[in-house]
Chains A and B, each alone.
Chain A
Amino acid sequence: AQSVTQLGSHVSVSEGALVLLRCNYSSSVPPYLFWYVQYPNQGLQLLLKYTSAATLVKGINGFEAEFKKSETSFHLTKPSAHMSDAAEYFCAALTGGFKTIFGAGTRLFVKA
């Protein structure tokens, strides 16, 4: 069965530091891959998506992610963290149909 694993339920960085949130997927077929961000008591907002067009995907708010088939990974990065980046981040995968599989989420804390 397809699954998405996010390493680290909590990640803490200092403002201005590199943000790295890890995501691995298990699927025999490279799926569509997504990163969503969720602020408290709000819905999920799409940061970026991988649809096989390019392995390095740029998203909103300075985030980007690289699809590595050999490592079955889709890690999210941002060169310089901002206080406003503090939120919950979900990696997700879709191989077909309608059922998107979500990772457990990673809470990002940004220290001043």
Chain B
Amino acid sequence: DTEVTQTPKHLVMGMTNKKSLKCEQHMGHRAMYWYKQKAKKPPELMFVYSYEKLSINESVPSRFSPECPNSSLLNLHLHALQPEDSALYLCASSLQGGGGKVEQFFGPGTRLTVL
């Protein structure tokens, strides 16, 4: 299994809703990432988990709350979002352990629309 899966594919939510994005990989990768991508822009790093511990939080607003329940799963909990949070949310994973295997594998993304 060499893929990262994300659910849902599309999500529309109001500003008062609570929703969650889910990401899963079974490649034995120990680093997992959340990115936000606006149209015609590169991905922007939000969070990094390494061995299920939060390693990087790029000053993301608290209305985004990540969670890493185990080494295969990564969630992003959403609450009280703003319309400007509408974007493609990408999950990625990478192997930690040297040997030059540092590339990230990306999921297909969740297209989020906040009304």
Contact = CB atoms under 8 A, between A and B. Distances in A.
Interface residues on A, range: 20 to 34
22 contacts: A32-B100, A32-B102, A34-B103, A36-B106, A43-B92, A43-B106, A43-B107, A43-B108, A43-B109, A44-B43, A44-B104, A49-B103, A52-B100, A90-B43, A98-B33, A98-B50, A98-B56, A99-B45, A99-B48, A99-B56, A103-B42, A104-B41
Interface of A: 32, 34, 36, 41-46, 49, 51-53, 90, 94, 98-100, 102-105
Nearest to A98: B48
Given A42-B109, A45-B106, A105-B40, 16 more contacts: A32-B103, A41-B88, A41-B109, A43-B107, A43-B108, A44-B90, A44-B92, A46-B103, A46-B105, A52-B100, A94-B102, A98-B31, A98-B50, A99-B48, A102-B43, A104-B41
B55 interface: yes
A57 B93 CA distance: 22
